[in-house]
Homo-oligomer: A and B are copies of this chain.
Amino acid sequence: MTDLFNALGIADDATGGSLSVRSPIDGAEIGRVRTTDPAAMEGMILRAQEAFRVWREVPAPRRGELVRLLGEELRAAKADLGALVTLEAGKITSEGLGEVQEMIDICDFAVGLSRQLYGLTIASERPGHRMMETWHPMGPCAVISAFNFPVAVWSWNAALALVCGNPVIWKPSEKTPLTAIASMKILGRALARFGDAPEGLVQLAIGGPEIGETLVASSAIPIVSATGSTRMGRIVGPRVAARFGRPILELGGNNAMIVAPSADLDMAVRAIVFSAVGTAGQRCTSLRRLIVHHSVRDELVGRLVKAYGSLRIGDPRAEGTLVGPLIDTASRDRMVAALDRARAEGGTVHGGQVVEGVPGGAYIQPALVEMPAQTGVVCEETFAPILYIMGYETLDEAIALQNAVPQGLSSCIFTLNLREAEAFVSAAGSDCGIANVNIGPSGAEIGGAFGGEKETGGGRESGSDAWRGYMRRQTNTINWSSALPLAQGVRFDI
């Protein structure tokens, strides 16, 4: 650990502070981090505003160069940062590395964007007039991230925000400040090579809810990108709206897979297991509901029970481990409680036993729960590896079940039948922001826009034109004629 901290240059930052950081692997303290004094937030926000006034005038391709350098530094630090993700968030090694790869990918993508940020030129109805629409930097962007993607979510936001001309203030989860600090060090190396970025371009604010609340409340921060629970979003969204800020919310999911009669069950089993137990079920896109056609239900459940039985649970650093710890024991308690409630609502639970794993960590067997119906507990997101299984007879019924939860993040269908697949992604199909065919709900590529509807909050990040969420649109009409015609043929002769 010392080596790792040294390699990442965070050894000093990991000691002497008041915030105790514990690894979910064994519950041991791995650092004591200094928190940001809430009284310092005002200065931080001021610096971000000042940085904005400089950064917005730096040409976007030059801003992209900073992000390119960040990508290079991330490549260089990939193994170390990935290992720290594993240590601090408890992900298995491959997922820790995958998270850093996602950071790298978004940097590459953002570099390309930096010569685009396309607006439109538009045909005007008036002679001697030119219309266009340009996208301009917006101002400081607060990024509030969660423990489960302690660094990737920041990079999604920061890479775009920086290219778009916005400073960033990052409030990571209190549970994962070390990966945040390490990411800032990596960024620092990129900044040093870049040369002349303004002070305060990217700042880190470590601490509890009061830090987040300051960011949410400040009208000097037009963009608040917040990833977390629906409960959090229900508070943040209206507050940001009340001050006419722009929230980008990535909240809860309750992601389902429909398994149709024609599904390739080999693929489905693998997709289900990865989606449901990967990151110990703590992804916002984790698979939580399985809607299986009656004709294949028994076989599928049988194979899943078997596959679940063979999952290696334990130290996420160990080769072969597929299920690491939950983030903490409270999380495990919530899972146990949800399983109890599921039983009470008629469910049959497979797995779900607390296991020792590494002493001090919150290890538990992922659970399959056969439900008689989509009851109350199924409609809630329990952030843990529980997969509820329900049957269906017609595709309409399956889609209705899929849509009958308040969340709207990710969804998928396994089928080889063209009509079913198309129905699922059609206007009357899945109501989620992500709807896949023959892949699980989890593990999106960065090239698409990421986010969802309903209680998921409506935000979009990452690819496609999600960058627009970080800019303001301006419609320009330039009259270069010597006349002053009015639109819609209005006459007004003085």
Contacts and interface: CB of A to CB of B under 8 A. Distances in A.
Specify the main secondary structure of chain A where it touches its partner: mixed
Given A98-B489, A458-B244, A444 B477 contact: yes
A231 interface: no
A65 B428 CA distance: 21
Contacts of A109: 112, 115
A484 B244 contact: no
Nearest to A115: B447
Contact of A116 (B427, B447, B487): B447
B490 A94 contact: yes
B486 A437 contact: no
A183 to B, nearest CB: 17
A473 B431 CA distance: 10
Contact of A62 (B125, B270, B448): B125
The contact size tier of chain A is 35 or more
A481 B415 CA distance: 12
Interface stretch (A2-10, A52-60, A201-209, A294-302): A52-60
B129 A464 contact: no
Given A57-B427, A416-B419, A458 B246 contact: yes
A336 interface: no
A62 B423 CA distance: 19
A439 B484 contact: yes
A473 B460 contact: yes
B463 A115 contact: yes
A129 to B, nearest CB: 7
B131 A123 contact: no
Nearest to A492: B274
A205 B220 CA distance: 38
A434 B270 contact: no
A478 B433 contact: no
Contact of A237 (B241, B267, B448, B455): B241
Contact of A494 (B95, B101, B311): B311
Contacts of A110: 112
A189 interface: no
Contacts of A425: 134, 474, 476, 478
Contacts of A453: 472
B436 A472 contact: no
Given A112-B108, A434-B474, A464 B133 contact: yes
A445 interface: yes
A118 B474 CA distance: 15
A117 interface: yes
7 contacts: A58-B127, A59-B127, A94-B490, A115-B445, A237-B238, A418-B438, A443-B490
Closest 5 CB pairs of A and B: A112-B112, A422-B480, A60-B123, A238-B238, A115-B447
